Chain A
């Protein structure tokens, strides 16, 4: 089975995600699993053709240049015409760091003009590329984004000091539940079950971990409880979606309401009356990894964290490796893309779905534990505050790919944290608009500005064996 396992990995690998999960993917998977020997040659013949054909069909997409143009115009208005005078300081180290980096100081107006010119150049490059029937590569979009962000930060922090380490540390801590949720969402959707219940899984995880950790005094047991709670919510989702063929989105939404209702009820009725006993969970300590934690900027951001965050790194790596490089991942994707084909080659579709939805719930549950065992030392009503829905957005923004979904979650975390930081240093932009940003970005992403986002083919459809 080794050759078919590696094949789809290359087909659906990170390089060609946007095309792979569509037409060619579903056809190939059906063939590939049948006969390992004959398949690899067949795919190699088929794959270049189909991807070329796919590129021809989506060649002239003017969306990217138009978007770049709009953002360049915004930059022109904001950074140059409405430009602010003064010096923007980016502080790169904390006082306690071993290696001290000097603070970067840029004159605000000059930075704004330079950034705007560079943005214009990129927009023109994108326009030329599209005119020459070529696609706008992702790295160009990324550079554009980073540049725009830098210009914006410089503009917003005119005459002020922006603490970069604080900004990044806050980003990671706000992103952790989103990333866990997104991993749960990716697995669940890849196997063909739309997981709108991420919010419920997070909330259930937060509740269970708070109660169990308070009762036992062991945060690790709280983590296990969060996992179990996430799985319970997933179990209901799976039972209704897979066994009773109820619309998966409906079950997800209703489960969210159910979990909110249950946790609110239990909080008011039980937890708030015995807060000492039931709602004072011990928190995880931060563990600094030797050497790595002393890397400037990155060290404090990534390697002075709690065990939950380290678990998150492992989870992301494991989900990525598992989905694209193991037999399990191949089956998961086969079931999500083309259940009939998977069934034909002997994969039990519904059992695979059931188990992996439970797995997704377990992973999401960890994210819930982060709320009560790391960020806030007690459970509160509806404390996830829509994080599950943002995680869902990250899944779609990340095009059902674990790494991209993680990056999308980080972006959302960054945007929310930026609003906090700018609130402290006094931002010229109303905080509501900063908070709105991730959602507006997602709408743009879903509407196809960034790229075609198409989910697993059979996601959302129950498999009824005939």
Chain B
């Protein structure tokens, strides 16, 4: 499927590059074109493109569409009707499952999907921040899964083992989780700094090590396994260690969201207001130049991986103390470690961008399950749409070529083709 997305590119790809500045355009045009070709518009269009691709996939595999297309030439209207029903049904369910349920009796029930979205977004934001922070320092942290698992194990262990007073217990469990994630991430930074080991390989390998380590602990009595049980599962968290509900017990939204928001503010402050963040960014842009300027690059690698692991640890904590408080098994990371990469890419590694991207992907998750339950469309379509979004966002020239958008900073001879037309042509 995906190759067809790329196919139009070579035909129209060279256009923005070949167009060199000929005459200075009016200033207002320039501004408009910079906005049109800028990152925000590209991001929105990338989401749109991915949704279109997902829609095609849904339509092609829909049985009613297949039946109707069997007699396409006698009654083409039926095919389009079936496509419309399939795609609008799917995306309608996605929207109602993630933002507002119009079928609900009152506002309190109708708004529940939105709170679900925020619940799903909570770990995504934290983990996305971790990955994004590492990105800014030039490190690629694919180890979210492992860091989350270790963090979840640490927080969970504190969460169910020691009866402690309210407040203190929660804080201790959160700190334990963050420390667990930070250690697992710090190993990577340490190896990179001391031996030059490539962080991608080390993080991938540590993911597997963490999976097996945690599954071993989960099935061994006395470590993480619930006493008197044969299942590889921990006991339930003590109520003193659980994130309190934000909107009462009828909603799943928990205080982990506040932690994620605080983490976003912290990362924003770190990257744009602190000298440490400046060092990270300098190392990320050019490690050699940073070293010449007197920045200790190796220490930066270690510090940034500690912080990155700690942030991803917050996601693990949110899972065990907020979302699944009845005890967890080895699938507690729920693929968030990998989703976080896409979240960070979508947010372009900017803290608030990641925040928005996390909420978007949280919506996809919440809506995806509703879509599967309501329309029978496998939730995996969400994975396709998400990965396509990231692919398109990572390649702005491709999106510009598809929509005939101008390249920012490069003046063009011809007027850009109208956007609506390009969409229609697509």
Q: Please report A residues at the B interface, Cβ cutoff 8 Å.
A: 196, 232, 235-236, 239-240, 243-244, 246-247, 249-251, 253-255, 257-258, 260-262, 264-266, 268-270, 386, 389, 392-393, 396, 430, 432-433, 435-436, 439-440, 442-443, 446-448
CA separation between A243 and B6, bound complex, in Å? 11
| B388 contacts partner chain A, Cβ-Cβ < 8 Å | yes
Of the A-B pairs whose beta carbons lie under 8 Å apart in the complex, a sample of 26, sorted by A's number, is A235-B3, A240-B6, A240-B394, A244-B398, A250-B341, A251-B391, A253-B338, A253-B341, A254-B390, A257-B386, A258-B383, A261-B380, A261-B382, A262-B1, A262-B380, A268-B378, A269-B378, A436-B209, A439-B208, A440-B209, A443-B202, A443-B209, A446-B191, A446-B197, A447-B191, A447-B202
B387 touches A257 (CB 8 A): yes
A265 touches B394 (CB 8 A): no
Select one of B13, B191, B384, B391 contacting A262, CB under 8 A.
B384
B3 touches A260 (CB 8 A): no
Interface of B is mostly: helix
Which A residues touch B342, using CB under 8 A? Answer: 254, 257
Residues of chain B from 198 to 239 with CB closer than 8 A to chain A in the complex? 198, 200-202, 204-206, 208-209, 212-213, 215-216, 220
Which of A253, A264, A442 gathers most chain B CB within 10 Å?
A253
Interface of A is mostly: helix
Residues of chain B from 134 to 156 with CB closer than 8 A to chain A in the complex? 140, 142
Shortest CB-to-CB span from A164 to chain B, Å, is 26
Q: Knowing A236-B2, A243-B13, A258-B391 touch, does A389 contact B204 (C-beta < 8 A)?
A: yes
Q: Knowing A443-B191, A448-B195 touch, does A262 contact B2 (C-beta < 8 A)?
A: yes
| B315 contacts partner chain A, Cβ-Cβ < 8 Å | no
Q: Knowing A235-B6, A236-B3, A396-B201 touch, does A250 contact B384 (C-beta < 8 A)?
A: no
Shortest CB-to-CB span from A238 to chain B, Å, is 10
Return the chain B residue nearest A430 by Cβ. Answer: B216
CA separation between A232 and B383, bound complex, in Å? 19
Which B residues touch A251, using CB under 8 A? Answer: 391, 394
CA separation between A80 and B13, bound complex, in Å? 68
Which B residues touch A240, using CB under 8 A? Answer: 6, 391, 394-395, 398
| B248 contacts partner chain A, Cβ-Cβ < 8 Å | no
| B9 contacts partner chain A, Cβ-Cβ < 8 Å | yes
Return the chain B residue nearest A260 by Cβ. Answer: B383
Return the chain A residue nearest B395 by Cβ. Answer: A244
Shortest CB-to-CB span from B20 to chain A, Å, is 16
Return the chain A residue nearest B335 by Cβ. Answer: A257
Shortest CB-to-CB span from A24 to chain B, Å, is 19
CA separation between A186 and B269, bound complex, in Å? 42
CA separation between A218 and B21, bound complex, in Å? 57
Which A residues touch B13, using CB under 8 A? Answer: 243
CA separation between A328 and B201, bound complex, in Å? 28
Return the chain B residue nearest A231 by Cβ. Answer: B3
CA separation between A239 and B2, bound complex, in Å? 11
Which B residues touch A246, using CB under 8 A? Answer: 391, 394-395
Shortest CB-to-CB span from B397 to chain A, Å, is 6
A249 touches B140 (CB 8 A): yes
Select one of A257, A260, A392 contacting B204, CB under 8 A.
A392
Which B residues touch A262, using CB under 8 A? Answer: 1-2, 57, 380, 384
CA separation between A260 and B335, bound complex, in Å? 12
B205 touches A393 (CB 8 A): yes
Number of interface residues of B (CB under 8 A): 50
| B377 contacts partner chain A, Cβ-Cβ < 8 Å | yes
Residues of chain B from 382 to 426 with CB closer than 8 A to chain A in the complex? 382-384, 386-388, 390-391, 394-395, 397-398
Which A residues touch B196, using CB under 8 A? Answer: 448
| B302 contacts partner chain A, Cβ-Cβ < 8 Å | no
- Contacts beyond the supplied A442-B205, A448-B196: 19 A-B pairs with Cβ under 8 Å: A196-B200, A236-B2, A239-B6, A239-B9, A243-B10, A244-B398, A250-B394, A253-B142, A253-B341, A258-B388, A260-B380, A262-B384, A264-B383, A269-B378, A392-B201, A396-B198, A435-B208, A446-B197, A446-B201
| B61 contacts partner chain A, Cβ-Cβ < 8 Å | yes
A432 touches B212 (CB 8 A): yes
Interface 1/0 per residue, B1-24 and A, CB below 8 Å? 111001001100100000000000
B3 touches A393 (CB 8 A): no
| B381 contacts partner chain A, Cβ-Cβ < 8 Å | yes
Which B residues touch A254, using CB under 8 A? Answer: 341-342, 345, 387, 390-391, 394
CA separation between A268 and B191, bound complex, in Å? 41
Shortest CB-to-CB span from B324 to chain A, Å, is 22
Interface 1/0 per residue, B321-357 and A, CB below 8 Å? 0000000000000000010011001000000000000
CA separation between A246 and B399, bound complex, in Å? 13
Shortest CB-to-CB span from A444 to chain B, Å, is 9
Which B residues touch A448, using CB under 8 A? Answer: 195-197
Shortest CB-to-CB span from B122 to chain A, Å, is 21
CA separation between A278 and B200, bound complex, in Å? 37
B381 touches A265 (CB 8 A): yes
Shortest CB-to-CB span from A445 to chain B, Å, is 9
CA separation between A255 and B341, bound complex, in Å? 12
Shortest CB-to-CB span from B346 to chain A, Å, is 11
Shortest CB-to-CB span from B199 to chain A, Å, is 10
A443 touches B205 (CB 8 A): yes
CA separation between A268 and B57, bound complex, in Å? 13
Shortest CB-to-CB span from A17 to chain B, Å, is 17
Return the chain B residue nearest A253 by Cβ. Answer: B341
A439 touches B395 (CB 8 A): no
Shortest CB-to-CB span from A357 to chain B, Å, is 14
Which A residues touch B377, using CB under 8 A? Answer: 269
Which B residues touch A432, using CB under 8 A? Answer: 212-213, 215-216
CA separation between A389 and B3, bound complex, in Å? 23
CA separation between A247 and B142, bound complex, in Å? 14
Shortest CB-to-CB span from B312 to chain A, Å, is 16
Shortest CB-to-CB span from A21 to chain B, Å, is 14
Return the chain B residue nearest A240 by Cβ. Answer: B395
Which B residues touch A447, using CB under 8 A? Answer: 191, 194-195, 197, 202
Shortest CB-to-CB span from A442 to chain B, Å, is 5
Shortest CB-to-CB span from B191 to chain A, Å, is 5
